[in-house]
Structure 1
Amino acid sequence: MFKKFSAKEDIHSRANVKSSVQRALKSNLIDQFPKLDDVIDEIIPKKGQLVNIKCTDRVSLYTLDSEVVFFQHYDDPFVPTLKLVHKYPERFPSVRVDRGAIKFILSGANIMCPGLTSKGATLPEDNIPEGTVVAIFAEGKETALAVGKLTMDTDTIKSVNKGIAIEVSTHLGDGLWSLKAD
């Protein structure tokens, strides 16, 4: 999504988010990511000014102090940035890919089922439903390398073991990673 993202060309408008909308946004984030409940005021402080930046292809970036915190494509679920996932890694559902998938993910490829079911990769014991936004970690690495949305639930990924399992939304080194939304 942000492979060739350019701040000058892709950003159309900026607007401060009203406090009532900010409260609703926090509520929606907690509904989507229940583990954020006790840290949501650290992520989006009550006195902080959240800014909505509208971009090409109906992407909305939500920034705080010139740093993108979440983004959303049209009315899809909210997606945390990698920097936020690095600050609160245990707060988001996650999967682990094998070492062989790393170079493909860092070049923007989606994640195939075998990359999540082979030796070195792990899927959670509990089923995660299709459409859930997940943090993507790699075998032998401490921090997430991407964030994406499941195209099928994790039980189906284990049983089918074929096709695209996760559509990658953002990865290390893409246009969003280096964006300073001043």
Structure 2
Amino acid sequence: MALFKKFSREDISSSSQVKASIARGIRSSIAQQYPWLEEHGVIEVLIPKKDPMIVGKMMGHVQVVLMDNVPLFFQERDGPWCPTLRVLHQYPDMMPKLRADKGAIKFVLSGANIMCPGLTSPGATMHSEVDANTAVAIYAEGKEHAMAVGLTKMSTTEMRETNKGIAVDNLHHLADGLWKTPVLV
């Protein structure tokens, strides 16, 4: 379900500077969802209060927060705000982590969703306990940096108990269009 599989600048149908009140709301929402950013003073670096915030809109009800034309966070419909992988690589402790086994890597990097067995088998690790509909960082067995950002379809407890079906919707992964477009002008 990767949102940005074939993403390019042209996929942003409209972008505009949002009013200060809307920018505050988005910033507050992101800070609330990722308390680590506020605790470590990172939110002020990423989204300074005084700087203009641009929100780009895409087909499929996706919004992208841009600061200085750099995509930082995205949101599908009314779902949670998710960081781009570039932000996540800078601040790897900002969100819950799940580690997929080696067998899942090539599928995840081609945009496939992450299945339960890829997270419950030997080699895989659930570093964080999370509920369904939680934004998570997906790491690969034996690798240091996240390879994807996704949204859990079930809690980690359900993933272990069920051990079949889709565990995490893959929203953004390495080498997708958003990764290849670091700056939108």
TM over 0.5: yes
- Following superposition, the deviation at residue 15 of structure 1 comes to 0.4
Match of 2:101 in 1: 98
Among 43, 48, 64, which residue is 1:45 paired with? 48
**Is 1:70 equivalent to 2:45 in the alignment?**
no
- Following superposition, the deviation at residue 176 of structure 1 comes to 0.8
Match of 2:15 in 1: 14
Q: Distance in 1 between matches of 2:112 and 2:83?
A: 19
Matches within 5 A, 1:88-167: 88-124=91-127, 127-167=129-169
Match of 2:174 in 1: 172
Show CA shifts across 1:78-113 (max 9, x none): 111000100100111111111111100010000000
- Following superposition, the deviation at residue 175 of structure 1 comes to 0.8
Show CA shifts across 1:14-64 (max 9, x none): 101222222111211122122121321111012322110111111111111
**How many matched pairs?**
180
Q: Distance in 1 between matches of 2:24 and 2:5?
A: 31
Q: Distance in 2 between matches of 1:25 and 1:54?
A: 14
TM-score (norm. length: structure 1): 0.95
SS at match of 2:144: coil
- Moved segments of 4+, more than 4 Å: none
Q: Distance in 2 between matches of 1:74 and 1:158?
A: 28
Q: Which runs of 5+ in 2 are unaligned?
A: none
What is the Cα-based RMSD across aligned positions, in Å? 1.1
Match of 1:58 in 2: 61
SS at match of 1:25: helix
SS at match of 2:168: strand
Q: Distance in 2 between matches of 1:26 and 1:142?
A: 28
- Following superposition, the deviation at residue 156 of structure 1 comes to 0.7
TM-score (norm. length: structure 2): 0.93
With a CA cutoff of 8 Å and minimum separation of 6, indicate the structure with the bigger relative contact order.
Answer: 2
- Following superposition, the deviation at residue 177 of structure 1 comes to 0.8
Q: Distance in 1 between matches of 2:97 and 2:51?
A: 28
What is the percentage of aligned positions where both structures have the same residue?
48
